[in-house]
Structure 1
Amino acid sequence: MQYIMKTIVLLAILFVGLFTGSASGQQQPQLEKSLLWKVTGKGLPQPSYLYGTIHMICDADFKIAPKTKNAFDQASQLVLETDLFNPSTPALVKAAMRADTPLSKKLSPTEYATLDSLMQQKMGMPLKPFDNFKLTMVMALMMQKLFSCAQPKSYEMTFNQMATSKQLPVGALETIQEQLDLMNKAFSDEQIITQVKEFDSARIMMNQMVENYKAEDVSALYNRMVEELMDKHTIQIMLEERNHHWVTEMPEMMQKGSSFFAVGAGHLGGPIGIIALLRKQGYTVTPIMN
């Protein structure tokens, strides 16, 4: 059960998702290569900052650059995607991931046997302990196993620890319940099963995304997701709807003081990305290169 609870927490900090599908055949305009952006204009009393995270990454690839530490030190609050570190989060995630029908009854015998075999081969565990959970739980397990390290690090957790040490308030752009509801709506059982079957390809893709991330190439991350990793339905729910909601929440937070927004890097780029949406609202959003 301790392992299951640990997995439940990991589920809440998943990357946007690794799901096959093609949304568009067109490449989007390229942004400057930076994970850190400054937001000014429209009467803001102080600049705020937008930082693109990758929700899990191995320690050897984990880095917080001096420019990022400097921006963080100037902020008066940290704002994450969701209220991940609320004490009630593990219970909420566990409840949201509980299945109405056990997987052993929901899936056909052939599907169950195939998924169980794949989990044992690729993840080193049987499907049985997760029989009463939704397949989204299997997605969380797979995400952790895509990395070569046993314990991937979290930028969100590190930023939260930094905020705690500086006694900074920590806000959120959405509740954990809202995020969980979106995840359950965005990913079908068929998508998850297909992705488990393509585990080796997903691992290669994750390695490529980590390299894009280390290069601070938010445009490449966005293009990779919409061209190779997500279908139209998933893009609409996990990117478009959330981004539009977030940029309606950010102005009031920025007016109250300098905010350091830490959200998945895949949300920054593209025509529906936070950078483009903030610019449409009249804000000046500029990359911080050094």
Structure 2
Amino acid sequence: MHRWQPDGSSRKSDPALLEKIKAEAAGTPNGKGLLWKVERDRQEPSYLYGTMHVTDPRVVSLKPNAQSAFDASKTVVIETTEVLDQAKMLASLMQKPELMMFTDGTTLTSLLSPEDAARLNKALEARGISPASVSKMKPWMLSAMLALPACEMVRKAGGAAILDIKLAEASKATGKNLEGLETVSDQFEAMASLPMEIPYERPRGYGPARRSHR
């Protein structure tokens, strides 16, 4: 099992691991399927489309079949409609700071070995983030932050929107009924409720980082 390295060095130095991951992904049944049609006799069909919270043009540009399904739909349901009002969303989250930050004496470095703390600080500094500014951040939150590649951070800083936002804006512009499955607070509560060990694990075959406590 490969261990998570916050600086991403394993991805660069272990091409064999990357090829293994690609092979496993290729073996997944319908692994490239993004658009699914759900239908029953004498009822209008519904469509399920897989999205990612990134601004990559390959993600936010709908393929013709997905665009046709969107155009034919009267109601569009995304994760949360709160993405259309960032200020309101942040104000809601600020009412529950314990979901994102440690509110006791815990710090990130108190949960990591010296080696992993140094590696984490290196990854943060490479992104222009002061380690001190995130020292009280919950591991799941920081893990999500570090999961974004540099190119994604640049696009977002430039105002690029994720697909959910683009679909929501297009729905309102064309008079579709727009609904959300949950609130951002619901999402954060779910992430914050995970056992502390889970945020230390990353996808792409990496295992957990070592921690200094038990």
Tell me the TM-score normalised to structure 1 length: 0.49
Residue aligning to 2:49: 51
CA RMSD of aligned residues (A): 3.5
Q: What does residue 179 of structure 1 align with?
A: 187
* Partner SS state of residue 170, structure 2: helix
**8 Å Cα contact 1:135-1:192 kept in structure 2:** yes
The aligned counterpart of 2:72 is 74
- Please give the alpha-carbon distance, in whole angstroms, between the structure 2 residues aligned to 1:160 and 1:83: 7
Matched, 1:130 2:134: yes
Cα separation, 2, equivalents of 1:149 and 1:180: 21
The answer to whether 1:35 aligns with 2:34 is yes
Is 2:176 the counterpart of 1:168? yes
* d(CA) in 2 for partners of 1:71, 1:80: 15
Q: Give the secondary-structure state (helix, strand or coil) at the position aligned to 1:157.
A: helix
Establish whether residue 142 from structure 1 lines up as the match of residue 170 from structure 2.
Answer: no
Distance 2:167 2:144 in 1: 22
What letter is aligned with 1:158? Answer: K
3-state secondary structure, aligned to 1:92:
helix
- SS across alignment from 1:49: strand
Q: Secondary structure at the match of 1:38?
A: strand
- Which stretch of the first structure deviates more once superposed, 143-152 or 51-60? 143-152
1:79-126 alpha-carbon deviations (Å, 9 max, x no partner) = 0123432643222334331321352674468364443233224x3322
Note the C-alpha offset of 1:60.
Answer: 5.5
Letter of the 2:30 counterpart: L
Residues 186/172 of structure 1: CA separation in 2 closer, same or farther (3 Å cut): same
Select the structure of larger CA radius of gyration.
2
Show structure 1 runs of 5+ residues with no match. 1-24, 196-201, 206-227, 232-290
2:125 equivalent in structure 1: 120
* CA contact 2:80–2:181 (8 Å) conserved in 1: yes
What code does the residue aligned with 2:71 have?
D
- CA distance in structure 1 between the aligned counterparts of 2:59 and 2:52, rounded to whole angstroms: 11
Q: Which runs of 5+ in 2 are unaligned?
A: 1-23, 209-214
- Give the equivalent residue in structure 1 for 2:12: none
Take 1:108 and 1:29, find their aligned partners in 2: how far apart are those partners? 34
Q: Is the 8 A contact 1:82 1:173 kept in 2?
A: yes
Q: CA shift at 1:159, angstroms?
A: 0.5
Separation of aligned partners in 2, 1:162 and 1:141: 27
Count matched residues: 173
Give the distance between the partners of 1:138 and 1:86, measured in 2 at CA: 23
Task: Name the CA distance, whole Å, in 1 between partners of 2:33 and 2:200.
Answer: 34
Question: Which one-letter code corresponds to 2:147 in the other structure?
Answer: M
**Runs of 4+ deviating beyond 4 Å:** 111-114, 146-149, 228-231
Question: Hey, what does 1:103 align to over in structure 2?
Answer: 107
Change in 2 beyond 3 A, CA 1:38/1:230: farther
Query: What is the deviation of 1:149?
Result: 6.4
- Provide the residue aligned with 1:242 in structure 2: none
Change in CA separation of 1:66 and 1:43 when aligned onto 2, cut-off 3 Å: same
